[in-house]
Amino acid sequence: MGFGYYIKNLRKSKELTLKELSQDLMSISFLSKFERNETEITFSYLLELLNRLNIGFDEFMDITEYNSSYKELLKELNLAYSNNNIIALKYLYNKELELYKKNNMRFHYLNSIMIKSIIYNIDHSFGKIDIKEAEALSEFLMGVDYFGDYEISIFGNSLICLEYSTTLSILTEIQKKIDASYMLADDLRLKLIHIALNIISISFEQGKIEDMKYVLGFTAKLIGKRQLYFEINKFNYLKGIFEYSYGNKEKGRRLLETSIKVMDFLGDQIGKQNHLMYLNEKFDFNFTL
């Protein structure tokens, strides 16, 4: 069953007429066709309908048949990615594309874009997402009122293929909506912290030092007083890079040295060496910790 079927049931459960739900958004006949699964609508329209029904996208997915399939997809994705199994990832990619062609549900289209980004992260020969796919992701992520597991997973897994300006705009939108509306569950907060840390790194590589300052502030708020030792050490490492790049070289060096020492103390010798090599390549001094 398509999304229209569930929209119809929700509308009726809230005792809304077709006219009331469609007002100033679309024609009554178009909404009626959508509810009968005779036509498709864009995600921005779907999200507006959900907003009028006072239903978040995550909550909507929970009541549809697609939520369980998405959770199963995530399990398969995590297994394939952890094993660096390109064949399995390509199978999942083609499967989601076929499901999209079969039922025309944009949910599967977004899944295929996410998987394509994951494959590209492992194998650049597979190709980045194209402009149309990037626009579909951006439209969806900029339009949602609630960022749950699905939205944050889509965003985080597609970072490598999104334009930098788009990435920053989506993060800014997430911050506005978090500040304005709700508290994040701990598991979603952790996912978003990891995404923000990645964006700080991307900002540095792009030479966007002022953007680093903004995302560092956002990340600090997300972490708060939580005892997230790995994330805090990574945050301090990136803050050290920012301070050094911003001209506060002594402060930056102290943060970087402390972060490297923590890696050494925790026995992360590979991480320590990789970070040392990166710092010695990027800056005009030598770390020999």
**Domain at 46, CATH number:** 1.10.260.40
The reply to whether 242 and 141 lie within a common domain is: no
Q: Are residues 36 and 125 in the same domain?
A: no
How distant, in Å, are the alpha carbons of 56, 120, 186 from that of 235?
31, 26, 18
Domain boundary, last residue among 159, 182, 205: 182
pTM for this structure?
0.75
**How many alpha carbons fall within 13 Å on the CB side of residue 40?**
13
Placement of tokens 């006949």 in the chain:
29
Among 154, 182, 210, the domain boundary falls at: 182
Least Cα distance to 89 among 66, 110, 117 occurs for 117
pLDDT tens-digit map of 126-157? 888 899 999 988 888 887 766 777 888 889 99
Question: Distance between CA 242 and CA 216 in Å, rounded?
Answer: 9
Same domain, 65 and 84: yes
Is 127 in the same domain as 237? no
Q: Where are the alpha helices (DSSP H) in the chain?
A: 3-13, 18-22, 28-35, 43-52, 57-62, 66-82, 86-103, 106-122, 131-143, 149-158, 164-181, 186-205, 209-223, 229-246, 249-265, 269-282
Q: In whole angstroms, what is the distance from residue 279 CA to residue 261 CA?
A: 14
User: Among residues 182, 202, 219, which one ends one of the domains?
Assistant: 182
pLDDT computed for residue 72 by the predictor: 83
76 lies in the same domain as 127: yes
Say if residue 195 is in the same domain as residue 282.
yes
Do 285 and 202 lie in one domain? The reply is: yes
Residues 146 and 108 in one domain: yes
Count of domains in the chain?
3
Instruction: Return d(Cα 178, Cα 107) in angstroms, integer.
Output: 23
Domain that holds residue 98: 56-182
69 and 176 co-located in one domain: yes
Same domain, 107 and 156: yes
pLDDT beneath 50: ranges in the chain: 181
Same domain for 242 and 175? no
pLDDT at 181: 47
Claim to verify: residue 66 and residue 107 sit in the same structural domain: yes
